[in-house]
Structures are given as C-alpha cells and as structure tokens.
Amino acid sequence: MYDVVVIGSGPGGYVCAIRCAQLGLKTAIIEKNATLGGTCLNIGCIPSKALLDSSEKYYQAIHHFKEHGIQVGNVSIDLDTMMKRKDQVVKELTDGVRFLMNKNKIQVYSGVGSFYSYSSDKIEIQVKNPQKEEIIETKKCVIATGSQVITPKDIGLNVEIDGEKIIISDHALALKSIPKSMLVIGGGVIGLELGSVWSRLGTNVTIVEVLPDILMNLDGKMRQIARKALEKQGLKFLLNHKVVDIQLKKDSVISKIQTPKNETIEIETEKVLVAVGRKPYTNGLNLEKIGVELNQRGRIKVNQHLETNLKNIYAIGDVIEGPMLAHKAEEEGIAVAHHIANKYAHVNYDLCPYVVYTWPEIAWVGKSEEKLIEEGIEYNVGTFLFKANGRAKGMGETEGQVKILAHKKTDKILGVSIVGPYASEILGEAVIAMEFSGSSEDLGRSFHSHPNLLEVIKEAALDVNKEAIHK
C-alpha cells in the first residue's frame, strides 16, 4: 500500500509527488499519456514559450537588427527546424521529470487512474492501459488531472475541431506551414500568445473578444498600454464582438461576427484558433462512484487544506477553483504534501502572479486600481516608463511602464502591474516585497544595480510618494 498516490503528472502533480517522497512518504503517480509533465510541459506553457522566443528572434531580425548596425540580408524561416527545436525543449524537460521520479523513488504507473473503492483508511484506484489493468491501494490520494480546452460547441458554435481549419492550442503549436490569415476567438493569455507567435511569422491575425477589452483582470490603464503595443506589431482586435457562426469552405473559413451594434460582419481566414479558455479535466476518474463533490462550474470542491468532502482525497490545480496557472498548481501541490505529512502548509492566493509572454511581456500581481476603488480602499499610485531607463534604452526595448499601487495610509504595496521587456522577471521582486508586507518606500530605498531593468520598479516605488529621480 502507498502512503500517497497522485493522479496526473502536470506541474502540480509531479511537484506534489516529489515533495511527498522527500517527506518520507511512499509515493506513486499515475499518468495517462506516454510522457510526464502534463499539458504545461507537453502542449502548453513550455512549447508555447519556445515558439514565442523563436518567433521574437525572427521579428527582431526583420524589424530591429538594423537599428543595432547588424545587417543580416534576406531573413527566412525554416519552420520545420523551429518546430524541432520546440520539440527538443519539451523532450528534455519531460525526460527531466522522469529522471526526478526515479531519483525520488516514485513509482510511475502509465494509464488512466479511476477510483475503484473508497474508505476513510484505504482508497483503491484502478489503473487502466491497453496492456493491462491493475488495482493499487493507498492511504491518501491527490487529484491533479488538470484541464482541457473549451471547444467550439461549448460556446454555442456548431463546428468540430478538425486540426486543419478549426484548431486549438495543441494544433497551433505544431502547424506545418505558416497560415496567411488566422482568426483567434478569445483575447486571453492563450489567444494573445499564440496570436503573437503567428503574427510575428507573417500571419494576418485578428483576435475577437466578447468582453470590452483583453485581460480584464489586469489594471485598466495597463490593459490599454498592452493592447496598443500589440496593435503596433500588427495584431487586430475586435472587442465587444462575438463569433456567432462558422462556415467551412474548401480552402478557408468564414466567421460570422456580431458587433456591439448587433450587426453581423464576416471575416474569411485560412485558420480559426479557438482560444476561449479551459475547463477541468476529470474524465475517467469515476468521481460519482465514490461521491466526490463538484461545484456548479464542474470543479472539485475542496476545503482550506485542499481536501475534498471525502477524507484523505485531495485536489489541486486546474480541477479546483482559482486561476489555471502552473505555478498555482505547484504551490498547492507542495501545500498538500506538507498537510499530509502533518507539517505547516499555506498558499497565499492574493499574491499569485499573472504573466502573458507576448513582447513586450505583461505581468501583474495583487489588486488593480479598479478593484481598489470597488473595495473603497484609498491608495497612491506610482508609475515609471521604460523609455526613461538606461538599460532599456541601450537594449532598444523602451515600450511599456510599471505601475505600483500602495495603501494611502500605510504605504503597503497592494498591486503591481508591468508592461515591458522581461516583465515576468521584474515582477518577482514585487511578489517578494508583497509577501513580506513591504511598502513602496521599502522597495524604493533598496539598492538596485545600475544600469538595470529593475530600476524601473525602484523608480515607480519612489514615485508613489512623488520621490522618483528620473521621472
């Protein structure tokens, strides 16, 4: 019998399994796919970032190298090599997870894990694969099965995903040729990132978003800055628009789109990428048999210890409430492992960072200005532009700014948003400061090496109290 069995080997699952093993618990993990790492490593976070990096290098070579005095002649794309590089990055990381399983003596079962029977002191899980079926026993179980894409039918469109004309993120990460045109349904993280990849490589990309703007939980003014930066690169946005019908032609797709005035327009493109989000993946778990409760959104209900309504069965990551982010799942995986081992565990959801890996990058943590107004919290604002930063100027990457919100009386940092080069890296400093309840003065008066991009956050912190030097 195992102490812990984790179902799902994505970032939450494999991290949870490793920490359980480190804490001396006999641990196993079940994965239905041939490789470990889940959606994130195989068809999500990692391959998309590899393509984002490759496509940005191509874009820079075409548009900006000459500003640095670099003449490269005719630049061309070898898409096959680009995809092979992406696949190699994925392979190295998934192989690395397999190595970590072996290193930590975690038993890996290949197949679909399904609850067979339950009692408060023993859980039986059936593992099914084409070769065999077996039942394993465990004292505790962690559900970490992640999420799946929301399909066209989920949003009322009577069309099937065919992987050719109607595609999802999986297909957009593995196209064999560069489309001339693409309509992206959804202005969230997936739509923006994959839209950026193909736009940089030469595709005419239009993003349709049913909401008034992209990234609606980002600070309003920062949303505008981000969208304008992406529009300058060639991305087109139809906000407050809704795709109401899709018709397939021989070599194209016609999307019928409802405008804010309830008029209908048509856009013909080579591809339609459905990127409206993801939903919990609980297929095959047999939750109803043992009585694990779901909420109205189809997510597994958990308490403050991430335990379901059944004792000793836990759930983490995309299958429970909260943002569907790899690092959120990882923190929950660590917390569950500690709770199982009777150690202290806590996840500070208020400081979960959000990042969009477009260029410039978009990153934020904490509350937006709109949220503070809604909650009646008085605040001060500090901002600083990248174009006034020496390092950014030298890099030729001056698009964007930092915005810091701090409590008017205590000066405690309440929210930070960044649009600019390496915003994902810069945000880490803000997260640490906020984790320790730091003030804008703490951040502004701390040493920052010069010249450095991180000086933008120092200056924004100083600006909260109107003390910025270079503004």
Q: What is the mean pLDDT of the chain?
A: 97
CATH of the domain at 94: 3.50.50.60
Based on the domain organization, do 292 and 410 belong to the same domain? no
Based on the domain organization, do 90 and 70 belong to the same domain? yes
Tens of pLDDT along 383-429? 999 999 999 999 999 999 999 999 999 999 999 999 999 999 999 99
Look at residue 447 and tell me if it is in a domain: yes
Whether 450 is a known active-site residue: answer: yes
* C-alpha span between 111 and 155 (Å, rounded): 30
Domain count, the chain: 3
Look at residue 31 and tell me if it is in a domain: yes
Based on the domain organization, do 95 and 26 belong to the same domain? yes
Q: Which of 398, 378, 379, 384 is nearest to 455 (CA)?
A: 384
* C-alpha span between 277 and 270 (Å, rounded): 22
What the block records as the tokens of 445 is 């008066």
* C-alpha span between 218 and 227 (Å, rounded): 11
3-state SS class at 265: strand
What's the whole-model pTM score?
Answer: 0.96
Based on the domain organization, do 109 and 255 belong to the same domain? no
Q: Which of 63, 68, 305, 450 is catalytic?
A: 450
Q: Which of 362, 334, 423 is nearest to 11 (CA)?
A: 334
Look at residue 73 and tell me if it is in a domain: yes
Q: Which of 192, 264, 202 is nearest to 255 (CA)?
A: 264
CATH of the domain at 369: 3.30.390.30
* C-alpha span between 84 and 90 (Å, rounded): 10
Based on the domain organization, do 218 and 287 belong to the same domain? no
Q: Which of 259, 2, 230 is nearest to 106 (CA)?
A: 2
Cβ atoms of residues 3 and 20 within 8 Å: yes
Look at residue 469 and tell me if it is in a domain: no
pLDDT given for residue 109 in this prediction: 98
Based on the domain organization, do 145 and 159 belong to the same domain? no
CA pseudo-torsion sign 41, 44, 47, 49:
negative
pLDDT given for residue 147 in this prediction: 97
Tens of pLDDT along 169-183? 999 999 999 999 999
**Domain end call among 242, 259, 276:** 276
Pairing of strands 242-248, 253-258: antiparallel
Look at residue 252 and tell me if it is in a domain: yes
What the block records as the tokens of 81 is 């090599």
Look at residue 355 and tell me if it is in a domain: no
Low-confidence ranges of the chain (pLDDT < 50): none
Based on the domain organization, do 234 and 326 belong to the same domain? no
Based on the domain organization, do 190 and 244 belong to the same domain? yes
* C-alpha span between 306 and 312 (Å, rounded): 10
Cβ atoms of residues 361 and 230 within 8 Å: no
Based on the domain organization, do 257 and 328 belong to the same domain? no
Range of the domain at 303: 2-149+279-350
DSSP conformational letter for 177: S
